[in-house]
Amino acid sequence: MSIEATLTAKGITLPDAPAPAANYVPFVRSGNLVFVSGQISADENGLIRGRLGEGMSVDEGVAAARRCGLSLIAQLKAAVGDLDRVARVVKLTGFVNSTGDFIDQPKVINGCSDLMVEVFGEAGRHARAAVSAPSLPLGVAVEIEAVFEIAG
């Protein structure tokens, strides 16, 4: 089954690839790798703001990370056109806006990691970092960047 068919079958709709918010490009292709700039948590209602450990639940953080994942895939599609060209999700680096005593960053970033496996199957399994940040741009809850390998 194609990636587009998988998305449709699972009821997953990709957002439009977000425009950069500062002086950078949304993705860079180098050889067979595509580096996608950090995507911040946003949905159809706007930015998903909040701080884990301070009024935002782990489940809300997981949902915010999943939205980052959808934007990563949208940027990847803008970069390569055909998502069936994805050979592997190589690495995710996730940043969680959280208090100093919050320790569930890996659970939050699983929202994105689980999406990658759901969409790309075994090729969606990846290396990863999940770290805390005392604040993130525009007050968002989560930001995630990614590296993808493209076939051909």
CA angle 143, 137, 128 (to 5 degrees): 20
Domain that holds residue 135: 36-150
Q: Let me know if residue 22 belongs to a domain.
A: no
CATH code of the domain covering residue 99:
3.30.1330.40
Which DSSP string corresponds to 75-113? HHHHHHS-GGGEEEEEEEEEEEEB-TT---HHHHHHHHH
Task: Give the burial string for 98-136 (b: 16+ CB within 10 Å, else e).
Answer: beeebebbebbbbbbbebbeebbeebbebebebebeeeb
pLDDT at 1: 84
What is the rounded CA–CA span in Å between residue 37 and residue 39? 6
The number of domains in the chain is: 1
- Which pLDDT does position 21 carry in this prediction? 82
Taking the chain (152 residues) in runs of 10, the rounded mean pLDDT of each run is 94 93 94 97 96 97 98 97 97 98 98 98 98 97 98 84
Residues 6 or more apart whose CB falls under 8 angstroms from that of 132 comprise 95, 96, 98, 100, 102, 105
Does residue 97 fall inside a structural domain?
Answer: yes
pLDDT score, position 43: 95
Residue 51 pLDDT: 98
Domain-embedded: residue 15: no
